[in-house]
Amino acid sequence: MSTVKEQKMEKLETKREMYHLIINGERVESVSGETFTTYNPATGEPVAEVAKGTKEDAERAIQAARQAFDYGKWRHFPVNKRARILNKIASIMRSRFNELVELEILDTGKALTAAQGQVMQAIEDFEFYASAIVGHRGTVNNMPGAFHNFTEKEPVGVCAQIIPWNYPLMMAAWKIAPAIAAGCSVVVKPASLTPLTCIVLAEICHEAGVPEGVVNVVTGSGSEVGNYLVEHPFVDKVAFTGSTPVGKNIMEKASKTLKRVTLELGGKSPNIIFEDADIDAAVNGSLFGIFYNTGQSCEARSRLYVHESVYDQFMEKFVEKTKKLKLGNPFEQDTHVGAIISREQLEVVDGYVKSAIEEGATIVTGGKEAKVEGFENGFWYEPTIIADVNHQMKVVKEEIFGPVVVVMKFNDEKEVIKLANDSKYGLGSAIWTKDHARAIRVAKQIQAGIVMINSPFSAFPGTPFGGYKQSGFGRELCIETLDLYTETKSILSYYGSRPLNPFGV
């Protein structure tokens, strides 16, 4: 067993045959010695073998994280030193940019430009928290008489971080960066379908100088490893990104030990095109809003509401451009839409489309599995637009998590706000209008954590990301995230010269 530091991984080979768990600064096999295979969704071919963690491995990782937090030096490092190490992580990631992009594409089948953007954002996330932690501090409060009170931000402890398959590296960065910036130790459980870049990120953390035990990664199933982390009394906080049903289950189980919980869950985000919108910009933004990352985005703008006066004009361009989107080799710069993560997910997507047809909707374009030359064994789905739908249909109510958008007409601002809010979710939303006053008025009434006005992009490091309603709670990617990885300690002292005797006895 060799340690990460010993292996001096200045130059990672792009892809290894075997990926290990990272526990206490070491690459280790699982206790059982078992492995599982991760596949390239674009080709259906195996990418690598991965150690299959179990409860025993989760236990080892929790013990390592606990030891590092309770007796280690990371949380006691001067904040500038932690910040320097976060910047070093970012700089190693930059120097390995292409390797990380390649690995992410192999593991997810996503298009090159998407992978590049996401790896870059993961890097910038470490840089953001390197700066943000320096300014994250407590307060001095006004006190009566000879009392002095100040607060300190202390790291919350050992954090279990459970991440999904749609943005494997970026989600890992969104979680690891603020947690370790704050001085916490983490045990990360990547999604079983896409574990590779998270493992490499943990190795990079060690190479940059994060002490052993602070960043641990245990791959393995959510029902075993994830659940064990959530229930373990030594874990102080759970940060989860994934589906709403699993999020609810985690919240319930975490309540037994009153863990701090943050949940980033599903979405069914509305995208509203007003009659005064710049139609070309709205078409381009709506295309990106739903088909980026093959529609496998929690904030995918999957419910499109178009004002009836511009509906035909908008749809003509939107449909035409959707048909032009290129599905193909994910490694090519001009590929727009990558593969679906798995055969199972493809069938889920197709099931939703079939349900829409059964309920009387119209498939405007797409609507079936795509055949991509040279990638016949991969999992591909045609970018799909569905019209003639209503709010009673499954395809309008539920998150599909694929390249499928439903389109509806509206004729009045009040009506569309009501429709937009008629969802159990409240993550993203988008508004297209040239009327600034309307944009702000509508934005304030939308029940969602994120409102994009004339913007295809939902977030940059610094912008809070998270949901209302059943899209979860807690915000990531922003300064406030640091509050979710810290406790506030109030320190009250009396400095008067007269001894106090409150009971007067």
- Which residues in the 324-363 window bind ligand TAP by CB under 6 A? none
Instruction: Supply the minimum distance, in Å, between the C-beta of residue 265 and ligand TAP.
Output: 5
Among 26, 264, 382, 399, the one annotated catalytic: 264
Burial class (CB within 10 angstroms; exposed 0-12, middle 13-18, buried 19+) of 421: middle
Instruction: Supply the minimum distance, in Å, between the C-beta of residue 294 and ligand TAP.
Output: 12
202 C-beta neighbours (distance < 10 Å), count: 26
Instruction: Supply the minimum distance, in Å, between the C-beta of residue 258 and ligand TAP.
Output: 18
- Which residues in the 443-472 window bind ligand TAP by CB under 6 A? 465, 467, 472
Binding-site string for ligand TAP from residue 296 to residue 315, where x marks contact by CB under 6 A and - marks none: --x-----------------
> By CB under 6 A, is residue 172 in contact with ligand TAP?
no
Q: What is the dihedral of CA 273, 279, 281, 286, to 10 degrees?
A: 40
| C-alpha R_g of the chain | 24
Using the contact rule CB under 6 A, the part of the chain among 9-17, 46-54, 219-227, 373-381 near ligand TAP is 219-227
Strands 452-453, 430-432: pairing is: parallel
Residue type, 498: R
Instruction: Supply the minimum distance, in Å, between the C-beta of residue 253 and ligand TAP.
Output: 8
The two tokens of residue 173 are 């960065």
Q: What are phi and psi of 241, to 5 degrees?
A: -125, 130
Q: Identify the residue among 30, 63, 121, 227 touching ligand TAP (CB under 6 A).
A: 227
Q: In this complex, which beta carbon is closest to ligand TAP, that of residue 155 or of residue 222?
A: 222
> By CB under 6 A, is residue 226 in contact with ligand TAP?
yes
Instruction: Supply the minimum distance, in Å, between the C-beta of residue 194 and ligand TAP.
Output: 8
Q: Identify the residue among 182, 230, 372, 389 touching ligand TAP (CB under 6 A).
A: 230
Q: In this complex, which beta carbon is closest to ligand TAP, that of residue 387 or of residue 477?
A: 477
Q: In this complex, which beta carbon is closest to ligand TAP, that of residue 47 or of residue 191?
A: 191
Q: Identify the residue among 3, 37, 80, 223 touching ligand TAP (CB under 6 A).
A: 223
Using the contact rule CB under 6 A, the part of the chain among 83-91, 226-234, 407-415, 439-447 near ligand TAP is 226-234
Q: State the angle between helix axes of 97-108 and 79-95 in degrees (0 to 180), rounded to the nearest 10.
A: 70
Q: Identify the residue among 165, 352, 380, 468 touching ligand TAP (CB under 6 A).
A: 165
Instruction: Supply the minimum distance, in Å, between the C-beta of residue 450 and ligand TAP.
Output: 10
Whole-angstrom distance, CA of residue 434 vs CA of residue 313 = 17
Q: Identify the residue among 4, 85, 191, 353 touching ligand TAP (CB under 6 A).
A: 191
Q: State the angle between helix axes of 112-132 and 97-108 in degrees (0 to 180), rounded to the nearest 10.
A: 120
Q: Which residues, in sequence order, are CB contacts of 263 under 8 Å at separation 6+?
A: 240, 241, 247, 250, 251, 472, 473, 474
- Which residues in the 66-105 window bind ligand TAP by CB under 6 A? none
- Which residues in the 409-438 window bind ligand TAP by CB under 6 A? 427
Instruction: Supply the minimum distance, in Å, between the C-beta of residue 322 and ligand TAP.
Output: 22
Contact 299, 428 (CB under 8 A): yes
Strands 430-432, 270-273: pairing is: parallel
Residue whose pair of structure tokens reads 């910036």 in the numeric block: 181
Burial class (CB within 10 angstroms; exposed 0-12, middle 13-18, buried 19+) of 266: buried
> By CB under 6 A, is residue 399 in contact with ligand TAP?
yes
Q: Is 446 left (phi over 0), alpha (psi -120 to 50) or beta?
A: beta
Q: In this complex, which beta carbon is closest to ligand TAP, that of residue 166 or of residue 423?
A: 166
Instruction: Supply the minimum distance, in Å, between the C-beta of residue 154 and ligand TAP.
Output: 26
Q: Identify the residue among 213, 222, 338, 383 touching ligand TAP (CB under 6 A).
A: 222
Q: In this complex, which beta carbon is closest to ligand TAP, that of residue 213 or of residue 226?
A: 226
Site size toward ligand TAP, by CB under 6 A: 32
- Residue 45 annotated as catalytic: no
**Residue number with the smallest Cβ distance to ligand TAP:** 222
Instruction: Supply the minimum distance, in Å, between the C-beta of residue 96 and ligand TAP.
Output: 24
Contact 414, 258 (CB under 8 A): no
Dihedral sign, CA of 171, 175, 181, 183?
Answer: negative
Q: Is 307 helix (H, G, I), strand (E, B) or coil?
A: strand
Contact 361, 387 (CB under 8 A): yes
Binding-site string for ligand TAP from residue 233 to residue 272, where x marks contact by CB under 6 A and - marks none: --------xxx--x--xx-------------xxxx-----
Q: In this complex, which beta carbon is closest to ligand TAP, that of residue 226 or of residue 366?
A: 226
The residues pairing with 381 across neighbouring beta strands, listed in sequence order, are 369
The two tokens of residue 458 are 């939902």
Cα dist. 365→73, 339, 383 in Å? 58, 18, 7
Dihedral sign, CA of 102, 349, 193, 372?
Answer: negative
Catalytically active residues are 264
The residue ranges that bind ligand TAP (CB under 6 A) are 162-166, 189, 191-193, 221-223, 226-227, 230, 241-243, 246, 249-250, 264-267, 298, 399, 401, 427, 465, 467, 472
